Amino acid sequence: MFPSLLVNVHNLLDYFTLVLAGNGHNFRAHGPPGTGMRFFVTCDPANIRHIFTTNYTNFPKGAEFAAIFDIMGDNLFNVDGARALRPRVKIHTVLSSPRLVASMEACCRDKVVNNLLPLFCHMTSTNALFDMQELMSRFMFDLATTALFSVDPGLLSTDMPPMDIPVAMDTVMEVGFFRHMMPASCWKVMRWLNIGPERKLGAAHTVLRVFIAKMIERRNIDKVHVSNDEEQEGDTVRTTLTWIFYNLAQNPDIVATIRNELLPIALQKAPTGAGAMVIFEPEEIKSLVYLRATLYETLRLYPPAPLERKTVATKDIMPSGHKVHAGDTVFVSIYSMGRMRDVWGENCLDYNPHRWLSKDGNTLRYVPSHKFLSFNSGPRICPGKDIAVMQMKIIIATVLWNFDVEVLEGQSIRPKSSCILQMENGLIVKLKKRQA
């Protein structure tokens, strides 16, 4: 099985999906002799509930995970259990504060009005093609840095300055994916020799350490907060937005439904700001059900973190009947779970926001987190979920109402080999201003 994993490493998510679908949502794999690599791969909702909730203390991230993401240090991204409990409670309290939530919403709204819309107007006036994925990375980096440090790097400007920090962060996730699939001895030798992906990672680490040290010194902020939840939230938003724009371009009927949901709000507003745009306020779109359903449908098929890695602490029997042993590595394929007919029905591959709606269409249908894992589950459930969802709703509502987004035909759209579900070649689009 391991040779097959290596052969398919550049298409691993779809390979996992194919094998899982043919093996009852679970399979095992072993690494080369002498490496001690033992994998259990699953997308079974019952197993996921067991791993993340029922018996979560037996499935920590483990020491190997911390070694893979050594740049993160000893913070919440890498630790579990009692060491993580108090900081997570603290962060959850902070991120759920109405005052902070309102502040983050306002910050996002202002960034859209003052930077994103003027840039989009410039793009329409020049009829320019651009990479939506890169632009969303610029937007979220500016937004996160402004919120954390009160410093706007200005990446979202017409001259498109270099993206050293976001590119370095992406490198960490790409090489982290490579490390997941390789024997630790191999990538550690490559790191020692400073060759291959490890050479690229070393340069990225230098860029990130200089930036983080500068920002921490400037604001005297705890490094845990800098490198963990805000970064994960930014990854969720920028990655999901790219896949949303791609899928909406293929589904004009869904775009029309979203615009119909926005229409009663838009009719009460006079166009303002850059190029006489309609601006939607956070409170105005908070209760829009179909817009949220569209976000969730995107997250179902394109989860920002497509794989979750866990280590087995002591031997256990999974709800599926599979035995796992201490030291085994468990991969939970969130990407695959959204593509399982037994989980999501015969139309699981269809992009269909209506699957999230109640019969009357007025509310969202309840789906348990062990079936929809994009915001994690159990004790590690994402504390910034509501902020991330609102940021996406602000951006999508404002962009879709004011512009038509056209995806350049003939592109090769496929996931990058990374711990974050980015597009390998970006998403080249063109905008057209909608007529009032």
> What gap in Å lies between CA 241 and CA 388, rounded to an integer?
11
**Residue positions in the annotated binding site?**
382
Half-sphere exposure in the Cβ direction for 264 (13 Å, CA): 6
Cite the annotated binding site for heme by residue number.
Answer: 382
**Which CATH class, in words, describes the domain spanning 2-433?**
mainly alpha
pLDDT confidence bin for 171, thresholds 50/70/90: very high
At residue 102, the pLDDT reads 85
The angle formed by the CA atoms of residues 163, 302 and 395, to the nearest 5 degrees, is 60
Q: Which residue, 395, 401, 404, 399, is CA-closest to 431?
A: 404
pLDDT, tens digit, for every residue of 98-118? 888 888 889 999 999 999 999
Tokens 């590119």 identify what position? 167
What is the dihedral angle through the alpha carbons of 364, 365, 371, 377, rounded to the nearest 10 degrees? 50
Residue 435 has pLDDT above 50, yes or no: yes
* String of DSSP letters for 291-320: HHHHHHHHHHHS-SS-EEEEE-SS-EE-TT
Check whether 23 has a pLDDT greater than 90. Answer: yes
Confidence band of 273 (pLDDT split at 50, 70, 90) = low
Q: Which residue has the tokens 């179902």?
A: 300
State the CB neighbour count (10 A cutoff) for residue 281.
14
Among 13-22, 68-77, 238-247, name the one with the lowest average pLDDT. Answer: 68-77
Q: pLDDT class for 313, splitting at 50, 70, 90? A: very high
More confident residue, 218 or 346: 346
Q: Is 157 within 8 Å of 115 (Cβ atoms)?
A: yes
pLDDT band for position 254 (cuts 50, 70, 90): very high
Centre a 10 Å sphere on the Cβ of residue 114 and count the other Cβ atoms it contains.
13
Amino acid at 189: V
Q: What DSSP state is assigned to residue 392?
A: H
Q: Are 51 and 366 in contact (CB under 8 A)?
A: no
> Which of 90-99, 103-112, 200-209, 252-261 is predicted with the least confidence, judged by mean pLDDT?
90-99
pLDDT, tens digit (0-9, with 9 covering 90-100), for 349-387? 999 999 999 999 899 999 999 999 998 887 777 778 888
The residue type at 287: S
Look at residue 232 and tell me whether its pLDDT is greater than 60. Answer: no
Question: In terms of Cα–Cα distance, which of 429, 46, 119 is closest to 244?
Answer: 429
**pTM across the whole model:** 0.92
Q: Where are the domains of the chain?
A: 2-433
Dist CA 197 CA 171 (whole Å): 9
